[in-house]
C-alpha cells in the first residue's frame, strides 16, 4: 500500500493515512527482532497481498513464536512474555472501554447438516482448563506417566495443554443431559463424551442384563443420587459400614452397591486409549483433564 499509489486510489486510502509510515516496535521475538512481521515478510520475499500461501505461513510463524517467546519492549509490562500478560492486558482494555469481545471463525464452518454456521454472542458456561493446579496435574501426567508411543504425540499434547484456557461445556439446544445448575442448557458433547465409558461398568446391572431398555434392573433411576454415583465410581475399598449406611439411605441392596463398585474398579481404570491425531487438540486433551478432575486415582 505504501509503494502502490494505484492500489491506494482503488481502495480510497488517503496518502496521509499511510505516508510516511514506519513500523512501531512493540514486541521482540527471538530470530525476528523488534519488527517481526517486516522481517518475515522480507525473508519470505512476499511481494503483495496476492501471495496468499506465503502470507498465511508468515502469520503462523509470527503469531506462534510471538505468543510463546515474544516479550514486550514498551509499557508497564516491558520484559514480560506475551503468554504471561495477554489475559491481563485484555482485561484492562475491556475495563477501560478500549476493547470489546469479538468472535469470528477462522474460515467457513459447515455443520453436519450442511448448513453454513455463523457466530452468535450468547450466554455460555465454560470449563477453565487453564486453571493452574488442574493444568499442572495434567501436564505432569503427560510428561512422566503417559505412554504416547511417539514423541510427536507427546509434544502435541503438551502444546495443546499450554494454550487451552477455556472451552464451552454447554449449549442451548439439541439432545443431551441438562446442566445441573442451569437447566436451560444441555451439556456439550465434548465435555461428557470423554467419560461416558465409565457407565459401561454398571450398565448391565442397571438395565437388567440387556441394553435395549426392555428390562429394568434392581436400581431405580431415582435412587441414583450423587452420593451413590460417588460411591460406585470413586470408592476404591469401601468399608462394610459405608456400604450398610448407603444401602439404608438409598434403598439399594448392599450386594448391588458392592457389585457396581467392584465392576467399575475392575474394568474402568484407563490402560489404553486409541483415537485419531486430529482429536489431540480437543477430545483427547479434554479426556486427560476430565479424568484428572473426576477420577484422580484411576
Task: Read off the pLDDT of residues 163-186 as tens digits, 9 standing for 90 and up.
Answer: 898 888 898 888 888 998 999 999
- Interatomic CA distance for residues 240 and 198, integer angstroms: 24
Neighbours of 129 (CB within 10 A): 21
Q: Apex CA 261: angle with CA 260 and CA 264, to 5°?
A: 85
Query: Which CATH number, 3.90.740.10, 3.40.50.720, 3.40.50.880, 3.40.50.1370, labels domain 5-95?
Result: 3.90.740.10
Whole-prediction pTM value?
A: 0.66
Distances (CA, A) of 16 to 9, 12, 95: 12, 12, 32
Domain limits, the chain: 5-95, 126-193+278-294, 196-267
**Tens-digit pLDDT profile for residues 214-273:** 888 889 989 999 999 999 999 999 999 999 999 999 999 999 999 999 999 999 888 888
10 Å CB burial of residue 232 (0-12, 13-18, 19+) is: buried
H or E segment to which residue 124 belongs: none
Contact, 290 vs 233, CB < 8 A?
A: no
- Interatomic CA distance for residues 218 and 176, integer angstroms: 25
Amino acid at each position: 500500500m505504501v509503494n502502490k499509489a494505484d492500489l491506494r486510489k482503488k481502495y480510497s486510502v488517503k496518502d496521509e493515512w499511510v505516508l510516511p509510515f514506519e513500523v512501531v516496535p512493540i514486541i521482540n521475538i527471538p530470530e525476528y527482532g523488534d519488527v517481526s512481521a517486516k522481517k518475515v515478510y522480507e525473508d519470505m520475499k512476499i511481494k503483495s497481498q496476492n501471495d496468499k500461501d506465503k502470507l498465511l505461513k508468515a502469520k503462523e510463524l509470527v503469531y506462534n513464536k510471538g505468543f510463546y517467546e515474544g516479550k514486550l519492549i514498551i509499557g508497564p509490562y516491558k520484559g514480560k512474555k506475551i503468554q504471561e500478560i495477554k489475559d491481563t492486558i485484555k482485561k484492562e482494555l475491556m475495563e477501560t472501554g478500549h476493547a470489546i469481545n469479538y468472535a469470528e471463525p477462522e474460515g467457513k464452518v459447515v455443520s453436519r447438516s450442511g448448513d453454513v454456521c455463523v457466530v452468535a454472542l450468547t450466554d455460555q458456561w465454560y470449563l477453565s482448563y487453564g486453571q493452574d493446579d488442574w493444568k499442572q496435574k495434567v501436564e505432569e501426567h503427560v510428561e512422566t506417566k503417559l505412554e504416547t508411543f511417539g514423541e510427536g504425540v507427546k509434544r502435541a499434547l503438551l502444546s495443546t495443554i499450554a494454550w487451552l484456557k477455556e472451552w464451552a461445556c454447554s449449549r442451548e439446544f439439541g439432545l443431551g443431559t441438562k446442566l445441573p445448575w442451569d437447566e436451560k442448557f444441555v451439556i456439550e458433547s465434548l465435555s461428557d463424551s470423554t467419560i461416558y465409558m465409565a457407565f459401561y461398568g454398571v450398565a448391565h446391572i442397571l438395565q437388567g442384563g440387556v441394553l435395549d431398555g426392555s428390562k429394568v434392573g434392581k436400581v431405580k433411576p431415582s435412587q441414583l443420587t450423587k452420593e451413590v454415583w460417588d460411591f460406585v465410581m470413586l470408592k476404591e475399598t469401601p468399608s462394610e459400614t459405608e456400604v450398610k449406611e448407603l444401602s439404608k439411605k438409598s434403598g439399594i441392596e448392599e450386594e448391588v452397591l458392592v457389585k457396581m463398585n467392584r465392576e467399575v474398579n475392575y474394568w474402568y481404570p484407563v490402560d489404553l486409549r486409541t483415537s485419531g491425531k486430529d482429536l489431540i487438540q480437543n477430545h483427547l486433551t479434554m479426556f486427560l483433564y476430565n479424568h484428572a478432575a473426576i477420577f484422580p486415582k484411576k
